Amino acid sequence: MALAAFFWGSSDGEKYNTFRQARLPLLISQGLRVLLIMASTFLLITTWIYGKKYTLLFLTNWGIHFNFFAITVNFITTLLVKEKEESNAKIYLWRFALVLFEIALSIEIILCILFWSFLWEGPDEYHFHQVFDILAHSAPAVFLVADFFLQKWLFRFQHIIFIIIVALVYLLINLIYVKSTGFYIYPILKWNDYFSYLIILISFVMALIIHGGFVFISIITTRKKEESSDDYSRLDSC
């Protein structure tokens, strides 16, 4: 119970179930999600074609998978879950969808910042591989931010723990691969210099700021909604 209260607060976290609170008419927001899922599917399939057995060694590709599953699960959850859900299975579904989306959004924005800040070197000529590289490190973040503004999300800061767990799991895999093979996956993460650990520290700080920022935005949006509802109530009582 204490753990559930920590992650979801009072009333089983019912206020975080906002899957029926679209910013646009529900049919339009779900239609836009279908388009995002189609674009995400293209990225996912192309990633496996290019990466093959090495696909899941790259955090970039983890992000592409998180993006695809987050938006797809959001679409399904919106179809199945009611605003005041009583079914335990559906409560777990919307909780899973929310946490998955929070993880995907933070990871993709961090990846986008790191790629354009430290990894991207503009080629002399652009071929499909270079164009896809740009898309893989930019499009998922754009898709997820777009999804954020389709729905009146309410994030919880304590969920940063889930983001940190995913990051630690990836870092462990990266460390094991680099130390066992002698080849590094990312040139900024060699594990034998101070810069690698600085990048890790910067990434964790960015995770706190980005997730905290979206928590703040979502709370402000929710308060505006509640204030608007209160205003309507006062008018009705006059």
Is residue 101 within 8 Å of residue 140, measured between CB atoms?
Answer: no
Indicate whether 74 pLDDT > 60: yes
- pLDDT score of 231: 36
State the average pLDDT for the chain: 88
Q: pLDDT tens digit string along 188-237?
A: 999 999 999 999 999 999 999 999 999 999 998 876 555 444 433 332 34
Record the tokens describing residue 132, joined without a space: 């896809």
The mean per-residue pLDDT over the stretch 77-100 comes to 89
Record the tokens describing residue 69, joined without a space: 């599953």
Q: pLDDT tens digit string along 111-125?
A: 999 999 998 887 667
Indicate whether 75 pLDDT > 50: yes
- pLDDT score of 69: 97
Indicate whether 238 pLDDT > 80: no
Residue the block writes with tokens 């979801």? 8
Q: What is the CA radius of gyration of the chain?
A: 20
Residue the block writes with tokens 């239609």? 31
Is residue 39 within 8 Å of residue 143, measured between CB atoms?
Answer: yes
Q: How far apart are CA 44 and CA 194, in angstroms?
A: 33
State pTM to two decimals.
Answer: 0.90
Q: pLDDT tens digit string along 50-69?
A: 776 677 899 999 999 999 99
The mean per-residue pLDDT over the stretch 128-137 comes to 86
Between 133 and 235, name the one with better pLDDT: 133
Q: How far apart are CA 144 and CA 162, in angstroms?
A: 17
